[in-house]
Structure 1
Amino acid sequence: MRTLLLAAAALAFASPAMAQLSGVEQVMVSTVEDRFESDVALLERLVNQNSGTNNIEGVRAVREMLVPEFEALGFTVERIDQDHVGRAGHLFARHEGAPGTTRMLLIGHMDTVFEPDSPFQTFTREGMTATGPGIDDNKGGVVVILAALHAMQAAGTLEGANIVVALTGDEESVGSPIAEARADLLAAGEWADVALGFEGLSVEDGRDMGVTARRSSNSWELRITAGSGHSSGIFHSAESVGAIYEMARIIEAFRTQLPEENLTFNVGLAAGGTPAVLGDDNISATTAGKSNIIPDSAVARGDLRTISQEQTERVAQRMRDIVADSLPGTESTIRFSFRYPPMSPTEGNAALLARLNGVNDDLGLDWQEPIAPIRRGAADISFVAPMTDALAGMGANGSGSHAPGETLDLGSLTRQAQRAAILMSRLAAEER
């Protein structure tokens, strides 16, 4: 992995002290402030265009709204359609700067969880608070990217910067096969020295936090078959104990034997009976049964979230071992779907946060301590984190993500864009 100079990590152990912004950096600060209302107007237009992941034309409409924004900044824009994975596609914007300097990958997404049939469709504003579908996740983050790039352009630091902006169109529900849906992002990760993720800013007890790690997002599916018969024979040694007792044994063993730091696992659906059948949509099941019949089948589905690939593999194997230790007359199988990998904490990520805290010093802002990984879910930056130094949570601060009433603190657009513009400008000036 390419890492920042670890000497920068020493900043994390020093006392915060105010320093002087350069004249160029002061231009960036004032440019973000001056453009605030136009940035909010762009945010309103983006939010009012529905772009639920499955609304292919809606996601593409948002993409077309963004194309001229990046072209005006001197970026070469590529529309990457993803019909072959059942999704709208991505927008990649590329800016070639000075050879041999830091290559930066900025990551966000254009889709939301709110499909056209959702009653929550419209941007509204009260003072410095706004609500709307996807306003936090992740259209606010997209506006932060553009605001930071405009500030760099005004200050003259964009010209020499090597930047790829990757805005995916299916972050909320990745297309399949996932290797094809994320092939372009993975290629950009191989190119980059630094990746910045513009999902929402983490705030804890009123303090902005840094995100140097995020956990994986995987799923598992359990299927159990068992001998059936009259319930009067259920505990006889030659008879089956039934599928439901076996399912209960497995799930309770998960609960008692698996827990460890930074690991969570959930059972989101369970059904047992004669028969129990998982729906084709994977979010429903049908079952029937009688109290005097030993149930012949059971199904369950859940998730698995880990902080490292080692933890993923080790815990998955432990789950397989638990499942294999079957009760009499039963047979169980577990299948995993490994979707979003973890963004593990690394020295390079910590050094990158230290660089951001140097920016905070100069802006007179509080330092951003690293938030516990268990507080953040998976995101697209996780795909590239094994290849490069990565820092997430660079987007705006909101609340109620994925629910009607999703809200954004508009003031956070300003400080996040200022932080990003100065950090990227400093990195862009460094040789690699």
Structure 2
Amino acid sequence: MEHANTILQYMENNQAEFEALLEKAVCMETPTEGEKDDLAACRRFFADLFEGIGFSVSVLPSGDDRYGDHLLAEYGEGEDSLLFVGHFDTVFEKGSFQPLWARDGGKAHGPGVLDMKGGILQIYRVCKVLIGQNLLPQGKKLTVFLNSDEEPGSYSSQTYTKQLAQNARAAFIMEPSFDDRIGGLKIGRYGRSVYTIRAKGRSAHSGNEPEAAASALIELSRQALALEAMSKLDGSGHLTVACTSLLSGNPAFCTVPGEGALSLDVRFSNQALGDDFDRKVRSLTPINPSVTLTVEGGINKPPYDADAPANKALFERACRIGQALGIEAWGRMVRGGSDGNFTSSVGCPTLDGMGLTGRFLHQTGEYANVDQAAKRAAWVALLALDVLGD
């Protein structure tokens, strides 16, 4: 394939710079709801990198005090663009890793090294080779959107993501792959709903008159069992209902709680299952008639459909191009969501899991295979050329 050797050689020669930048980025701790100055500093770090290779950069406000602002970087003229999507927030509280950066052979450890500061730097090196080697086709545009709130659900950034995807030829989601396979990609994702069910009953002294209580705790426990029993894994689709927390409104000793809240995290492989569960949870009736229930929340992410023709065609391109580099592509649908759910939902051809390989994301054992990064970056660059060359 034309340019394959040139691009791969460039990435291999660029590896030391990539690893040095990755260490700097990882050592800038950026919890999603952490200090705004930390998030802003990391955003500026990436802005400076892209500006240094000719991008125009701008800050897009989050409009939400919980999160930092977002970064948009654009290179080229016209409307025919390829969209790269990433995020610079991480799930880790500051101080979760000691030390912040460590190497173990071909692996690098640190907060967000895999999810997904490594993926952002893959975007940077892909764009750098396309621009620096004059490979970007005439009249084509590179668009990079990096947000600060992906981990909790992209609440303040998803509108930007969808708007940019509507005008893009394709969206490359530079989230991590799913294990150590160099050819791993994520070709679909479940949709997600998040709910809080609040119960209000009647509290009472647990010794003197427990019979006078209408326990919110018992009501919500029974509802939790019934709701989790709605999970299904069969040929018509997959629905998983997980009860993630149960809180009592009465922390006092010797008290039957009259108030409480139950949190649900629901994943669904197709929209019909998500809509059906949404109707059911909103029509819940109390088991104890002396307790009232209110339901908050709803569908947060639509499914990223692996079987959508545009998504399948993009994955098939990746398979073909990977062969030129000796990479066997391996696609997998996963239950966790990403910004790929949003790009796919507006009809933009989407391919996810295009960042680094590694394991244990969201855990203190998180690592990335930096020794596979050069070949994967070359793969992404060649796929970008193929998409933009049509």
Q: TM-score with structure 2 length normalisation?
A: 0.88
1:168 lines up with 2:144 in the alignment: no
Indicate conservation of the 8 Å contact 1:50/1:121, yes or no: no
1:333 corresponds in structure 2 to 294
2:201 corresponds in structure 1 to 226
In 2: Cα distance, 1:157 partner to 1:217 partner:
39
Quote how far apart the aligned CAs of 1:413 are. 1.1
1:66 corresponds in structure 2 to 46
1:343 lines up with 2:323 in the alignment: no
1:353 corresponds in structure 2 to 315
Distance 1:117 1:338, change over 3 A: farther
Quote how far apart the aligned CAs of 1:306 are. 2.0
Indicate conservation of the 8 Å contact 1:120/1:404, yes or no: no
In 2: Cα distance, 1:227 partner to 1:115 partner:
37
Quote how far apart the aligned CAs of 1:128 are. 1.4
In 2: Cα distance, 1:128 partner to 1:141 partner:
16
Quote how far apart the aligned CAs of 1:264 are. 1.6
Q: Deviations over 1:56-101 (max 9, x none)?
A: 112221222222321233221112243644422111111225x575
After superposition, the CA RMSD in angstroms is 2.7
Indicate conservation of the 8 Å contact 1:129/1:408, yes or no: yes
SS, match of residue 324 in structure 1: coil
Quote how far apart the aligned CAs of 1:123 are. 1.5
1:76 lines up with 2:38 in the alignment: no
Aligned partner of 1:197: which letter?
I
In 2: Cα distance, 1:408 partner to 1:351 partner:
28
In 2: Cα distance, 1:144 partner to 1:100 partner:
23
Distance 1:230 1:188, change over 3 A: closer
1:248 lines up with 2:217 in the alignment: no
Instruction: Trace 1:368-383 onto structure 2 (pairs within 5 A).
Output: 368=330, 370-374=331-335, 377-383=336-342
1:310 corresponds in structure 2 to 272
In 2: Cα distance, 1:337 partner to 1:289 partner:
34
Indicate conservation of the 8 Å contact 2:79/2:141, yes or no: no
SS, match of residue 292 in structure 2: strand
2:162 corresponds in structure 1 to 186
1:46 corresponds in structure 2 to 25
2:94 corresponds in structure 1 to 116
Indicate conservation of the 8 Å contact 2:359/2:367, yes or no: yes
1:287 lines up with 2:251 in the alignment: yes
Greater Cα shift, 49-58 or 416-425: 49-58
SS, match of residue 167 in structure 1: strand
Distance 1:185 1:132, change over 3 A: same
Quote how far apart the aligned CAs of 1:359 are. 0.6
Quote how far apart the aligned CAs of 1:50 are. 1.9
In 2: Cα distance, 1:87 partner to 1:247 partner:
31
1:93 lines up with 2:73 in the alignment: yes
Q: Deviations over 1:375-424 (max 9, x none)?
A: xx111222221111111000001222222232111122112201100000
In 2: Cα distance, 1:108 partner to 1:316 partner:
29
In 2: Cα distance, 1:62 partner to 1:296 partner:
45
Distance 1:320 1:240, change over 3 A: farther
Quote how far apart the aligned CAs of 1:358 are. 0.7
Q: TM-score with structure 1 length normalisation?
A: 0.80
SS, match of residue 264 in structure 1: strand
2:105 corresponds in structure 1 to 127
SS, match of residue 385 in structure 1: helix
Alignment equivalent of 2:325, drawn from 344, 363, 368: 363
In 2: Cα distance, 1:138 partner to 1:156 partner:
27
Distance 1:159 1:230, change over 3 A: closer
Distance 1:100 1:214, change over 3 A: same
Aligned partner of 1:195: which letter?
A
1:408 lines up with 2:351 in the alignment: no
Quote how far apart the aligned CAs of 1:122 are. 1.8
Structure 2 gap ranges (5+): none
In 2: Cα distance, 1:252 partner to 1:349 partner:
37
Aligned partner of 1:79: which letter?
V
2:9 corresponds in structure 1 to 30
Aligned partner of 1:389: which letter?
P
SS, match of residue 79 in structure 1: strand
Quote how far apart the aligned CAs of 1:325 are. 5.2
What is the number of equivalent residue pairs in this alignment?
382
